Amino acid sequence: MRPVQRRQQGFQYGIYLLCMQALNFGIDKIPPATLAAIIGQVLLYIGVLKVPWNAEEVCISALKVFKHHNWKSFVVSSFEHGSDMHLYYNMVSLILKGSYLEPMYGTMNFTFLLGILTLGCSAMYAFLAYALTQLTGDYSYYTQCAIGFSAVLFALKVIVICEEQDRIHDVGGFRVPSKIAVWVELILIHLLVPQSSLIGHLGGILVGCSYCYTFIGVMIDNIVYTLTGTPIIHEEQFYRRRNSFLT
């Protein structure tokens, strides 16, 4: 999402909705790393976590990465949000995806994986924006700035689909096969929320696909195993899908 002024004062309806959703889901059912990521981003948005920047200052763009080497934006842009509803939708999505993947992978493994995916999504965003600038000659791609956790959520959605048995997904009222669900969601969000970052969401999908279907995923699993001492165990169908692309 394109950044707007943060640290709004007064009642934030999105925060209220998020609290209600978390309570309805069951706080005790949200795994610890997922819950910590949600609480951290909420506290950052409302200004309880004191940081020396505003949301609009740390949005990520290809210009900031390649020309100005702004690594602060590269790292923290994913955790900022432009509005309370932007935060609400992202954190509700994180509750669902984290509650599925974290118990399967283990809390420490999921924490490191989340960090790697976050950096990967930032790198993919910058690369896609640069590539589109070169292909189209449109400099706006190079300067387009974005914040939010949506790209990481798209990466997680791809991983969830890879772990699941093939099934039908409900995406905005459309029932579609799992293999195209994430692409349908990408198009629907872009049509319904034009100010959202298409490049960021596409980048998240590509990062998720890289993890599920290429040697990059094997490398990431090995790095996480080295860091935690515990391997990431996938469902059988995940290995079948990965192996079908690697062989």
176-217 pLDDT tens trace: 888 889 999 999 988 888 888 999 999 999 999 999 999 999
Q: Determine, yes or no, domain membership for 3.
A: no
Residue 153 has pLDDT above 60, yes or no: yes
Q: Determine, yes or no, domain membership for 211.
A: yes
Catalytic residue among 73, 122, 150, 196: 150
Higher pLDDT, 95 or 8: 95
Count other Cβ atoms within 10 Å, centred on residue 47. Answer: 13
Query: What pLDDT score was predicted for residue 5?
Result: 47
Query: What pLDDT score was predicted for residue 135?
Result: 96
Instruction: Report residue 247's pLDDT band, with 50, 70 and 90 as the boundaries.
Output: low
Q: Determine, yes or no, domain membership for 10.
A: no
Which residues constitute the domain of residue 211? 55-82+93-244
Q: Does the active-site annotation cover 150?
A: yes
The number of domains in the chain is 1
Cβ atoms of residues 172 and 185 within 8 Å: yes
**pTM of the predicted structure, to 2 decimals:** 0.93
Q: What would the mean pLDDT of 65-93 be, rounded to a whole number?
A: 95
Q: Determine, yes or no, domain membership for 110.
A: yes
Average pLDDT over the chain, rounded to whole? Answer: 92
Residue 11 has pLDDT above 70, yes or no: no
Q: Determine, yes or no, domain membership for 34.
A: no
What's the rounded Cα separation, in Å, for the pair 222 and 211? Answer: 12
Catalytic residue among 81, 86, 201, 234: 201
Q: Does the active-site annotation cover 86?
A: no
